[in-house]
Structure 1
Amino acid sequence: MRHLFRYLYAPCFSLGLIGLAVWLVGYLHATLWLLPLLLVVAIGLSWLAESWLPYAVEWNQPRQDRRRDTLHALINESLNALGVLSIPLVAALLPIGTLWPHAWPLWLQVLAAIVVADLGITLVHWLSHRSALLWRLHAVHHSVRRMYGLNGLMKHPLHQALEALAGTAPLILLGMPVDIAALLAFAVAIQLLLQHSNVDMRIGFLRHLMAWAPVHRFHHLKYGTAGDVNFALFFSVWDRLLGTAFHHPHYRIASDDLGIGSQPDYPDEYLAQLAEPFRDTAGHQAPPPLPVGLQRSVEQMHTQMP
């Protein structure tokens, strides 16, 4: 049973929950306010799966971070909801186009929105590891010292706003309807839960397509630029194009591999994390060296980057 669960969890969690949301909103015409409730259910299912089959048992133990991560999730998802609700106002103020493919099936409209948004979000994410200013905001997300579903929703609100703007601005200008925007926001939240999941999942060849936890964990390595890999939110193809795709099937990531190597004392409290990007950074130090098990693979990958 556990062996089968390892292989079925990721596709069933992703396609099942996003598909359920599309069916409820698009075909049963349920209110969009059902989506936050469905997200709460998804968080509960993620927690149950992590408890039953964890990738790292110690990652299920809070490190004085549960309240903080809950605050990040509540505030960031509330901001997402406000962003969706503001679309009619934006449409009234800007010259919104009429190119949106309303005649397409709803599921195909959602998929198209995901692909476009994924590209914009991925590029901002990639730039955030190359711009010192953007990194200050993005570092909040990289300060985690354990990986589990809920901390996928842990971001500085300003950085989340930049990603959301890059991902949704083209869609809004094309005339994206509010229901598609709401389903897109829900799909992003589900993907973030799955991408940071502590479930000991197996995804096999799907790692070449989907940026799920076994791929994304390497992005959170604390060893300097070793984590400058696997930037994609949904689809690994963007990392193939950027030359940043990386996977080491035999390296098992532990708590000691996570965090920000140059800032081991990064603050843990919510308000302190909001303020940290605007503080002096003179206290940075050299990151720790790569473990022997990773060194050759990471160095080879970086020499092949464009």
Structure 2
Amino acid sequence: MQLLPPLVRYGYAPLMLLGINGTAIWLASNGAPKAWLLAVLVAAIALSFAAERILPYNDAWNQPAGDAGRDVTHSAVNETLILASVAAIPALAAIVPSLDVWPHDWPFVAQVVVAVLAADAGITLVHLASHKVGVLWRFHAVHHSVKRFYGLNGLMKHPLHQTLEMTAGVIPLLLIGLPVSVASALALAVAVQLLLQHSNADYRVGPVKHVLALNEGHRFHHLKWAGIGDVNFGLFTLIWDRLLGTYSHDPARRFTSDDLGMAAKPNYPIQYLPQLTEPFRPTGSCD
């Protein structure tokens, strides 16, 4: 058992980024039934929970605080939306004009990398706008109401905001002929990234932490004070944050639940349905 903590510290992130994503890429490239990709997603979630319990960054964040059922519901609804968007690609391709300039002759893994980088740009820019535009912030605030930082928080989003982010990430790809198989691998990569980015596991990735948008940097994004958390917007990478001047990191900083949430809205609804209706309330704005 003493071997497990160091295995998690240095092996968990590579296992998820290369092992889980690599398996999904192999399955998608070989036309495997979508049920196999769902099985890989379930395995990724199980690994996430196991890593958080073997080597937690904050022990308290592994304990539910009346939010476990809500987080499961958010994750189920939003992951279903992601999968539905993949399933809808053939129909969308039939009605959306496409330039059909997708690099079909490239190795499949290279096609997935292109999709990841393109989606990262669209999602990151919408994420940034959601901190600057009042009406978008109302919906994005659901995600920033979290008081503990663990894997399932990644999909704790208002479904309308989740749809907006995914649309920004995928529509440009559809316009250049994104294949369904590549979209399937991309959908799994998004889920894996969200698990890693919000993970309570105290893992290490070395200098890569300055390039990939993982939990060590993303905690800064969830600082509850207005303006302080307007950093590290990237989903997959920190490339855009570096270009936009929104990258921030302090290796000495430690986080607790007192640092998370929204200082201007400390009593934001905790349960699922109230969170869905909060953005529509005239007095529920977190602007």
Query: Following TM superposition, by how much is the alpha carbon of 1:203 offset from its aligned partner in structure 2, in angstroms?
Result: 2.4
Q: Residue 12 in 1 paired to residue 30 in 2?
A: no
- Between the aligned partners of 2:259 and 2:39, the Cα distance in structure 1 is 34
Contact 2:28 2:184 in 1 (8 A): no
| Paired residues for 1:138-177 under 5 Å | 138-177=140-179
Instruction: Provide the secondary structure at the position in 2 that maps to 1:33.
Output: helix
| Paired residues for 1:96-115 under 5 Å | 96-115=98-117
Cα RMSD (Å) of the superposition? 1.4
Q: Residue 26 in 1 paired to residue 29 in 2?
A: yes
Q: 2:261 aligns with which of 259, 262, 269?
A: 259
| Paired residues for 1:68-217 under 5 Å | 68-217=70-219
Closer, same or farther in 2 for the Cα pair 1:122/1:76, shift >3 Å? same
Closer, same or farther in 2 for the Cα pair 1:87/1:284, shift >3 Å? closer
Aligned residue in 1 for 2:53: 51
Q: After TM superposition, what 4+ stretches of structure 1 lie above 4 angstroms from structure 2? A: 282-285
Larger mean CA deviation between 200-209 and 57-66 belongs to 200-209
Query: Following TM superposition, by how much is the alpha carbon of 1:4 offset from its aligned partner in structure 2, in angstroms?
Result: 5.0
- Between the aligned partners of 1:69 and 1:282, the Cα distance in structure 2 is 21
- Between the aligned partners of 1:55 and 1:284, the Cα distance in structure 2 is 29
- Between the aligned partners of 2:135 and 2:278, the Cα distance in structure 1 is 12
Query: Following TM superposition, by how much is the alpha carbon of 1:204 offset from its aligned partner in structure 2, in angstroms?
Result: 2.3
- Between the aligned partners of 2:93 and 2:284, the Cα distance in structure 1 is 44
Closer, same or farther in 2 for the Cα pair 1:90/1:110, shift >3 Å? same
- Between the aligned partners of 2:65 and 2:236, the Cα distance in structure 1 is 28
- Between the aligned partners of 1:122 and 1:142, the Cα distance in structure 2 is 16
Q: Percent identity?
A: 54
Amino acid at match of 1:97: L
- Between the aligned partners of 2:285 and 2:34, the Cα distance in structure 1 is 46
Instruction: Provide the secondary structure at the position in 1 that maps to 2:228.
Output: helix
Q: 1:234 aligns with which of 233, 236, 260?
A: 236
Query: Following TM superposition, by how much is the alpha carbon of 1:32 offset from its aligned partner in structure 2, in angstroms?
Result: 2.1
TM-score with structure 2 setting the length? 0.96
Q: How many residues align?
A: 284
TM-score with structure 1 setting the length? 0.90
Amino acid at match of 1:19: G
- Between the aligned partners of 2:286 and 2:41, the Cα distance in structure 1 is 37
Structure 2 unmatched runs, 5+: none
- Between the aligned partners of 2:127 and 2:67, the Cα distance in structure 1 is 23
- Between the aligned partners of 2:46 and 2:190, the Cα distance in structure 1 is 17
| Paired residues for 1:280-295 under 5 Å | 280-281=282-283
